[in-house]
Amino acid sequence: MEWEIKIRDENGVGLDLIQHEELIMPMTFQDLEPEKRLRMIREFKYMKGDILLCSYPKTCTHWLSNLVNCLTIPGPVGSMKAVSVKLMDTIPFDQWMEVENRRILSSHLMINRLPVEHLKQGGHIIIITRDPRDAMVSYRHHAQHLDMVNGPNLSWKYFIDTWINGKLPFGSSFDYYNSWEKAIKENKDLNVLIVHYEDLKTNGSKNSRLHWR
């Protein structure tokens, strides 16, 4: 069951969202058959070589996706073109079946909603982090740009409060990374590589080398 959430600042400007169980999403998620999509993600069949990129929104998922693409797809880097991030959360699933090489999957969902087989089979996982202050500022501009806001300008104070309280699509940044920290401690078989945006930006050639078990 979904129901609308209306977040408004002192000027009546805000976000129109939906909530499905504990998951908060944009209103457009209603058009993707939420319950069916979430079930399909959990049941998504693992293929050897799959790489799952896990990130909270606005932590440079697009950049990471292109970096991994350049490192894993055969051919000279100079001839490669930028690829669009295609989140499992929103992309038609048949598009993944068209990929012949390693499938680079991406999701903002919490670990409890990710593909079960990928986790159990020791599939490659890359988690990217970013300074939460920068991620929050980027999220604010992103929300306005995508018309998630019902007015011309959502106040910064109200947005910051909403971000801290996790009342935005995909919930709380703190809950997201805390859940991964807990999962990694409890399951030593998870094949996880953690990268930090700031490290990649400072010394990408050193920090972008992918090392898994």
pLDDT at 178: 97
Q: Where are the alpha helices (DSSP H) in the chain?
A: 34-42, 61-72, 116-120, 132-145, 156-164, 173-186, 197-202, 204-207
Look at residue 15 and tell me whether its pLDDT is greater than 50: yes
Contacts 24+ apart (CB under 8 A), 116-123: 116/42, 116/43, 117/44, 117/45, 117/46, 118/44, 118/46, 118/50, 118/52, 119/190, 121/46, 122/189, 122/190, 122/191, 122/213, 123/46, 123/50, 123/51, 123/52, 123/191
Q: Where are the alpha helices (DSSP H) in 1-128?
A: 34-42, 61-72, 116-120
- Specify the fold of 2-207: Rossmann fold (3.40.50)
Which one-letter amino acid corresponds to residue 97?
M
Ranking 25-39, 43-57, 71-85 by mean pLDDT, the lowest is 71-85
pLDDT at 45: 92
Query: pLDDT grade, residue 207 (50/70/90)?
Result: low
> Mean pLDDT over residues 168-187, rounded?
95
Look at residue 148 and tell me whether its pLDDT is greater than 80: no
| Alpha-carbon dihedral sign for residues 141, 145, 148, 154 | positive
The domain spans of the chain are 2-207
pLDDT at 204: 58
